[in-house]
């Protein structure tokens, strides 16, 4: 009787439950695409920023290399340093605002980016460049150190430095 009862049972006529197919991992959800897009944009922005920064610092790096190659024993060392500083400055600032600066105006312009204890040292060092007298060893070392310090501190200029110097 139990076999007959089971055969007539309504549960016996039921078929197994068929599960839907598994959800695939492709294509990813829209959120993953958005995250990927943001990451790609950030990577591109970082690469462009680094490239721009490298280009901005190229003139300073070249000027520092040329300063290191200058021979301090030459009588026109101060003139060569002056030319180097002006060339480096013209790489970052408009030519028309710098080309006409000479002597006091040029020294004042250079002093703007130096700390107060370093200001006023250009005149005795660069002021002798056309006198025909060579600088002493101490003066050449001082001039080289001051020029190197200025190149590192002042170049490339920040936006505030650029605006301040263009007004002068």
Q: What is the pLDDT of residue 130?
A: 76
Longest dimension (CA), the chain: 131
- Work out the pLDDT band at 6, boundaries 50, 70, 90: low
Contacts (Cβ under 8 Å, ≥6 apart) of 130: 79
Would you state the structure tokens that stand for residue 111, as one six-digit string? 């002093």
- At 2 the pLDDT is 61
Predicted model pTM:
0.69
In the predicted model, is pLDDT for residue 8 greater than 70? yes
Position 164 confidence tier, pLDDT thresholds 50, 70, 90: low
User: Which token pair is 67?
Assistant: 């300063």
What is the reported pLDDT for 131?
Answer: 74
How much is the average pLDDT of 126-144? 82
d(CA 135, CA 142): 10
């Amino acid at each position: 009787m139990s076999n007959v009862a089971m055969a007539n049972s309504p549960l016996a006529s039921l078929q197994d439950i068929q599960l839907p197919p598994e959800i695939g991992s492709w294509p990813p959800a829209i959120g993953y695409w958005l995250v990927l897009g943001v990451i790609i944009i950030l990577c591109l922005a970082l690469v462009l920023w680094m490239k721009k920064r490298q280009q901005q610092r190229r003139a300073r790096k070249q000027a520092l290399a040329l300063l290191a190659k200058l021979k301090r024993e030459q009588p026109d060392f101060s003139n060569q340093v002056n030319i180097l500083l002006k060339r480096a400055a013209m790489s970052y600032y408009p030519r028309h605002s710098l080309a006409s600066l000479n002597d006091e105006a040029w020294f004042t312009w250079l002093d703007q980016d130096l700390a107060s204890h370093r200001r006023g040292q250009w005149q005795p060092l660069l002021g002798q460049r056309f006198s025909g007298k060579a600088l002493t060893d101490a003066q050449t070392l001082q001039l080289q150190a001051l020029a190197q310090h200025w190149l590192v501190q002042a170049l490339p200029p920040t936006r505030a430095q650029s605006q301040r110097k263009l007004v002068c």
